[in-house]
Chains A and B, each alone.
Chain A
Amino acid sequence: MAQRASTASKKSAQVSTQVIRDLHERMVRIRLFETEAGKLMEAGKLPGFLHLYVGQEAVAAGVMAALRDDDQITSTHRGHGHAVAKGVGFREMYAELYGRVTGACLGRGGSMHINDLARGMLGANGIVGAGVPIAVGAAFAARYKGEDSVAVTFFGDGATNIGAFHEGANMAAILGLPVIFVCENNGYAEFTPQSRHMLLTDVADRAAAYGMPSVIVDGMDAVAVHRAAAEAVARARSGAGPMMIEAKTYRYFDHQGVKGLRHPYRSDEEVAEWKARDPIDLIEARAVADGAATRAELDGVWRRTRDEIAEAVAYAEASPLPEPADLLLNVYSG
């Protein structure tokens, strides 16, 4: 494969104790945020759609741990994990899922539009592929202003069939912009397996068409994702241009919501196989084996996060609803 950086080695090299703990905490935060959101949805408390990220945590955690606050990301319809990992608070996220005025979008956006400009979260997106060119624009702005921040765009395997992806990739490459293209390949676009929506096995091959280097990583291994991301970010920051990372991963829940499948489109065995390589189990085993954290310390992360989530849900539920009189708020600036 021309331009392909070496496929990241299975056995990831040495990373610091601090990085392992950081990756673990980010993943636990996503997992618990998402499982709680799923429960709230099942209990009929949340309006709208909910696309859960559980299973893919290693990707968001690995990439975000390589970014600064001023680095920008664009996300997808499955965006909660990216937002949590980028540091968006639980309170404003749950409040948004509930449609409260205290939410990240003041109750106007809901699950698919969560953003936090202060943390470089340029928004989840309801239109598949639409975030790709937006990240290219964010990277352009950084270079234009003489800043050294980078932009990361997250997208699925399915999204790489849409024009915006191809146009955005070519634009970033030809302008040499600091954009990292992160494909979270979970093998499905809604209910269609990858083998039935493209003839490629590796989405990373698409990068070559634009003269962009790419790397494939195990998307269940947060350390592997992190190392690839750190390299791509350093490269982009130094002015060497865009790069693509394809992380092979899996979503545990259905495309939308948490309920069982109306029509089975993947087997229980397949789901079980991926769950056997759960990204949080993997990092916990590694943390304990490497002496990065004790079991008790890891349990403490789960406990503290659960408490924080309970508090944030209570905050959301106690928050006021938006006022219909303010319907036209923010349609325009100024």
Chain B
Amino acid sequence: MTTTTQAPGVPPVAASRKLTYVKAFNEGLAQAMREDENVFVAGEDVAGYGGVFRMFDNLLDEFGPRRMIDTPISEAALVGLGVGAAARGLRPVVDLMFMDFIGVCLDQIVNQAAKMKYMFGGAVSVPLTITTASGAGLGAAAQHSQSLEAWLAHVPGLKVVMPCDAYTAKGLTVSAIRDDNPVVVMLNKVLLGSPGEVPEEIYGIPLGRAHTARQGSDVTVIALGRMVGEALAAADELAAEGVQIEVIDPRTVQPLDTETMFASVRRTNRVLVVHEAVTFGGLGAEIAAQIQDAVFDHLDAPVLRIGAPFSPVPFSPVLEKAYVPDRARIAQGCRRLLERS
């Protein structure tokens, strides 16, 4: 059973209807555009075509070409356009299609968007939202499947959100757009079509606040993005064995709500961190280090990390399946943690 502890002021999940993850994103974006005339969207094939993942369907019809802009394949100029426009008071949403393409515009993200406010002595804000699709699972191979949140979360000045379902896709997108900082919204490709309960009204999910997706007393599983669903499935499997897993979804990986994690670890005394990105240098390392620093005395076993092996994402489905962590590996990790103590 999934419990939902929401932050105050956020609509409960008990909503009337289901929307897919991508439609929930789309609805949140449309509502944010209605709310604020300064929000516009730019990217490759986002306007006329509605985006290759259907993220921007129907927005051109409602908002017209002034606010829905198809750009050339020029990602550096695209992000730069967003930085300059944001510095002049607009709220750009720029789309990078596949997350891997940040490789060609990293300077604009890391050296420009992230640092402008600080370097200018606070004289300017960069309320830029960058949307992109991350993750493996489509047989899209090494240049179209990466989860690069650790690159971005490492850069002071950026915020990074990873929606795990339709509800968070909408709420985090709205918050990203309303936020006065550059925020990267990492949608997950495999989740695009998965439905979930989504309130009709506009709502934001506070950035930097983790969500306890399931309460349990035996092991804390901290799961990023798509791994939340896998962790919940693993928890169901383990519940049948009499083991109660607590699943924490950070929702925002920068800033990271470590307090919620620490509180959970104090209750369960065991923790596993799981993400789709490679384990080495991944956010699991950061989370494990912080937990050890803060609540070491509460740990009955070393913090366990599960991520991808240190390899590019393989193409062949058999390899890709072995590469991405799943519910079985998470359940196995929990059993190992319990055996150690």
Contact = CB atoms under 8 A, between A and B. Distances in A.
Contact of B316 (A99, A162, A197, A263): A99
B143 A126 contact: yes
Contacts of B319: 99, 107-108, 322, 324, 327
Interface in A91-108: 96, 99-101, 105, 107-108
A197 B309 contact: no
Contacts of B139: 47-49, 99, 110
Contacts of A321: 316, 318
A321 B70 CA distance: 41
B104 A322 contact: no
What range describes how many residues of A lie at the interface? 35 or more
A162 B73 contact: yes
A190 B52 contact: yes
Of B52, B139, B312, B314, chain A has the most CB atoms within 10 Å of the CB of B314
Interface string A94-130: 0010011100010111101100000000000111111
Interface stretch (B41-49, B216-224, B281-289): B41-49
B11 to A, nearest CB: 32
A54 to B, nearest CB: 21
A99 B322 contact: no
B328 to A, nearest CB: 13
Contacts of B73: 128-129, 158-159, 161-162, 189, 197
Contacts of A322: 314, 316, 318-319
Contacts of A198: 72
B302 interface: no
A129 B73 CA distance: 9
Contacts of A324: 318-319, 321-322
B143 to A, nearest CB: 3
Interface string A262-296: 01010000000000000000000000000000000
B76 A163 contact: yes
Nearest to A98: B316
Nearest to B70: A192
Interface string B314-326: 1111110111000
A331 B136 CA distance: 18
A128 B74 CA distance: 10
B341 interface: no
B101 interface: yes
Contacts of B309: 327-328
Contacts of A129: 73, 104
A113 B322 contact: no
A112 B49 contact: no
Nearest to A97: B315
B50 interface: yes
A265 B60 CA distance: 15
A164 interface: yes
B72 A110 contact: no
B315 A161 contact: no
B98 to A, nearest CB: 8
Interface in A182-200: 189-192, 196-198
A215 B217 CA distance: 71
B100 interface: yes
Contacts of B74: 161-163
Contacts of B151: none
Contact of A162 (B45, B48, B75, B143): B75
Given A162-B74, A197-B72, A265 B48 contact: yes
B138 interface: yes
B104 A191 contact: no
B159 interface: no
B116 interface: no
Interface of B: 44-45, 48-50, 52, 70-76, 100-101, 103-104, 138-144, 309-312, 314-319, 321-323
Q: Which 10 A-B pairs have the closest CB atoms?
A: A99-B316, A47-B139, A126-B143, A110-B315, A48-B139, A324-B322, A161-B72, A107-B316, A191-B49, A197-B72
10 contacts: A48-B139, A107-B314, A109-B141, A127-B101, A158-B73, A162-B73, A191-B45, A197-B70, A197-B71, A263-B48
Interface of A: 47-49, 96, 99-101, 105, 107-110, 112-113, 125-130, 158-159, 161-164, 189-192, 196-198, 263, 265, 321-322, 324, 327-328, 331
